[in-house]
C-alpha cells in the first residue's frame, strides 16, 4: 500500500470498517457488524474465496488498526436490561412501574405461571419495552401463549427449560427455544452479538451484565459484574468470541485478583470446537484447569489434539 494512504497513526486506512478480526488461541472470528453476523474459522486458507476482502489484499493490512484499545469510549447506544423474577401479578405490576418510569427498553421475565405470562404480554404492549424474553419451565408451556400475534409483538424469545428435547421453533415471530436442561448458564452461538457496539463495549464491560439490573420480591438491585470483561477472565481471554459473547455465568475471583468461571463453557477455544461438534473435547481433556486454586494449561497436550483435529496450520 503506498505511503500517501497512511493515516496520522502511520497505519493504512481500514477498507472495511464494519469488519473486526478477533484471534483466539486456535480459532479466529470475523465480526461483520454491518450484517450482524460472524464468520468463525481456524486457518486463513479456510476462508471462502467469495469473501472478496481476501482476494486482493493481505489480511494483516486489512485488519491493522482493529485492535481498538480504548481506555475511555463513548458508547453510541445504551443497553438497559431488567431481569424480573416474579411469581405473581404484583411483582409484574411493580416491575412495570420501573419500566415505565425509566423507559427500560429490554426485559427478561422469569415467571412461573401461564396466567402471569398472558398478563405481562398485555402489559408490555403499551410500555416502553422494545424487546423482551420470557423464561419458563416446560410444564408451564402451552402453545396458546403464542397464538395471538398481536399480543406477542414485543416478545422476541421464549426460553423453555426442563424440556424433554432441544429444539428451536419460530411461532408468530417469536423464537421458542426448548432446552433440555435448567436455566441457560453457558453460551452458544445463539448468544453472540455481532455488532460494532458490542465489539467496542466488550473492551471495557461485560456484555451480558452491562446496565443490567434485577427486580424481584425484594426490590430492585444493580449487578456489579459489568466491569469484568472477557479479557479479564481465564480461558475467555483466549477465545475469539470474547468480543461478542453474552455469557450469563457468574464470574468469580481468586484471592490474587484473577477471574474464573466455576463451570465449563460450551465452546473450547483451545481446539476451536463447540460441544456436540465432531472432535470436541472438554477443557479438562485438553489439560486446561481453571478453578478457585488457579489456572493451568498443557500446551503440548493441546498441540497434539489440534494436530489430530486440524493437521498442520
Ligand atoms: S464464554 Fe465461552 S464462547 Fe464466550 S468468550 Fe468465554 S470461552 Fe468464548
Task: Give residue 65's pLDDT.
Answer: 42
Determine the residue of 267, 271, 286 to mutate for testing ligand 1's pocket, defined as the one with the most ligand atoms within 8 A of the Cβ atom. 267
C-alpha cell at position 183: 436455566
Mean pLDDT, residues 184-206 taken together: 79
How do residues 216-235 score in pLDDT, each as one tens digit?
Answer: 888 887 777 778 999 999 99
* Beta bridge partner(s), residue 110: 85, 135
Q: How far apart are CA 226 and CA 313, in angstroms?
A: 36
CA of 154 to the centre of ligand 1 (A): 29
CA of 169 to the centre of ligand 1 (A): 25
pLDDT at 1 over 70: no
User: Bridge-partner residues for 104, per DSSP?
Assistant: none
Lowest mean pLDDT among 126-140, 163-177, 187-201: 187-201
d(CA 268, CA 23): 14
Classify residue 161: in a domain, yes or no. Answer: yes
Distance 242 CA to ligand 1 centre (A): 6
Residue 197 in any domain: the answer is no
Residue 308 has phi, psi (to 5 degrees) of -65, -40
Ligand 1 centroid distance, CA of 265 (Å)? 6
Please check whether residue 92 lies inside any domain of the structure: yes
pTM of this structure: 0.70
Measuring CA to CA, how many Å separate 305 from each of 27, 113, 117, 240, 268? 14, 47, 47, 19, 12
pLDDT for 165 beyond 50: yes
Per-residue pLDDT tens digits for 15-61: 667 778 888 998 988 888 778 888 888 887 777 655 544 433 445 55
Residue 239 CA, ligand 1 centroid: distance in Å: 6
Q: Say if 61 falls within a structural domain.
A: no
Q: Which domain holds residue 96?
A: 81-184
Query: Quick one: cell of 75?
Result: 458508547
Nearest-atom number in ligand 1 for the CA of 240 is 8
Q: Which atom of ligand 1 is nearest to the CA of 239?
A: 8
pLDDT tens-digit map of 244-287: 998 888 899 999 999 999 988 889 999 999 988 999 999 999 99
Q: What are phi and psi of 168, to 5 degrees?
A: -135, 130
How far does the centroid of ligand 1 lie from the alpha carbon of residue 274, in Å?
A: 10
Give the position, in ligand 1's atom list, of the atom nearest the Cα of 235: 7
Q: What is the structure's pLDDT at 9?
A: 58
- Residue 226 resides in a domain: no
pLDDT digits (tens, 9 = 90+) for 5-28: 555 556 566 666 777 888 899 898
Q: Which mutation among 247, 282, 295 tests ligand 1's pocket best, with the greatest number of atoms within 8 A of CB?
A: 247
The DSSP line for 6-69 is --TTS-PPPS-TTEEEEE-SS-EEEEETTTTEEEEESSGGGS-TT-THHHHS-HHHHHTT----
Compute the distance from residue 117 Cα to the ligand 1 centre, in Å.
31
Q: Pocket of ligand 1, candidates 235, 237, 260, 297: which has the most ligand atoms within 8 Å of its Cβ, to mutate?
A: 235
End-to-end CA distance of the chain: 27
Name the helix (H) or strand (E) containing 213. Answer: strand 212-216
Q: Does 105 fall in a domain?
A: yes
In a domain, 164, yes or no: yes
Query: What is the number of domains present in the chain?
Result: 1
Give the pLDDT score at 38: 84
Residue 40 lies in a domain: no
- Percent composition of the chain: helix, strand, coil (DSSP 3-state, to 5): 25, 25, 50
pLDDT in tens, 67-126: 444 444 333 334 478 888 877 788 888 889 888 887 888 899 988 777 788 888 999 999
Helices (H) and strands (E) in the chain, counts: 6, 17
Name all residues whose Cβ lies below 6 A of ligand 1. Answer: 187, 230, 235-236, 239, 241-242, 245, 247, 265, 267, 269
Where b means 16+ CB within 10 Å and e means fewer, 196-220 reads bebbbbbbbbbbbbbbbbbbbeeee
Distance between Cα 58 and ligand 1 center (Å): 28
What pLDDT shows up at residue 187?
65
- Which amino acid residue places its CA nearest to atom 4 of ligand 1? 245
Please name the residues in contact with 46: beta carbons below 8 A apart, sequence gap of 6 or more.
none
Q: For residue 292, is pLDDT > 90?
A: yes
296 DSSP β-pair partners: 289
> Which residue's CA is minimally distant from atom 7 of ligand 1?
236
Amino acid at each position: 500500500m503506498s505511503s500517501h494512504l497512511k493515516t496520522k497513526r502511520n497505519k493504512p486506512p481500514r477498507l472495511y470498517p464494519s469488519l473486526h478480526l478477533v484471534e483466539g488461541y486456535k480459532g479466529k472470528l470475523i465480526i461483520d457488524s454491518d450484517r450482524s453476523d460472524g464468520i468463525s474459522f481456524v486457518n486463513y486458507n479456510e476462508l471462502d474465496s467469495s469473501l472478496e476482502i481476501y482476494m486482493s489484499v493481505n489480511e494483516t493490512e486489512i485488519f491493522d488498526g482493529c485492535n481498538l484499545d480504548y481506555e475511555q469510549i463513548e458508547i453510541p447506544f445504551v443497553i438497559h436490561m431488567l431481569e424480573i423474577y416474579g411469581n405473581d401479578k404484583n411483582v409484574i405490576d411493580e416491575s412495570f412501574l420501573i419500566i415505565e418510569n425509566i423507559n427500560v427498553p429490554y426485559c427478561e421475565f422469569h415467571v412461573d405461571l401461564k396466567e402471569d405470562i398472558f398478563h405481562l404480554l398485555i402489559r408490555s404492549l403499551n410500555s416502553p419495552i422494545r424487546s423482551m424474553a420470557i423464561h419458563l419451565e416446560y410444564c408451564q408451556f402451552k402453545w396458546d401463549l403464542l397464538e395471538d400475534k398481536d399480543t406477542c409483538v414485543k416478545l422476541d424469545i421464549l426460553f423453555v427449560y426442563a424440556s424433554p428435547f432441544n429444539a428451536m421453533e419460530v411461532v408468530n415471530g417469536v423464537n421458542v427455544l426448548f432446552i433440555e436442561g435448567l436455566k441457560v448458564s453457558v453460551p452458544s452461538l445463539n448468544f453472540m452479538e455481532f455488532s460494532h457496539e458490542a465489539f467496542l463495549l466488550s473492551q471495557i464491560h461485560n456484555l451480558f451484565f452491562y446496565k443490567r439490573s434485577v427486580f424481584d420480591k425484594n426490590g430492585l438491585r444493580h449487578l456489579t459484574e459489568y466491569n469484568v470483561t472477557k479479557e479479564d477472565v481465564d480461558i475467555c481471554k483466549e477465545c475469539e468470541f470474547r468480543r461478542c459473547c453474552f455469557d450469563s455465568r457468574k464470574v468469580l475471583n481468586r484471592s490474587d485478583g484473577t477471574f474464573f468461571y466455576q463451570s465449563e463453557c460450551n465452546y473450547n477455544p483451545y481446539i476451536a470446537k463447540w460441544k456436540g461438534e465432531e472432535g470436541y473435547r472438554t477443557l479438562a481433556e485438553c489439560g486446561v484447569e481453571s478453578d478457585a486454586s488457579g489456572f493451568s494449561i498443557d500446551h503440548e497436550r493441546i498441540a497434539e489434539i489440534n494436530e489430530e483435529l486440524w493437521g498442520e496450520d
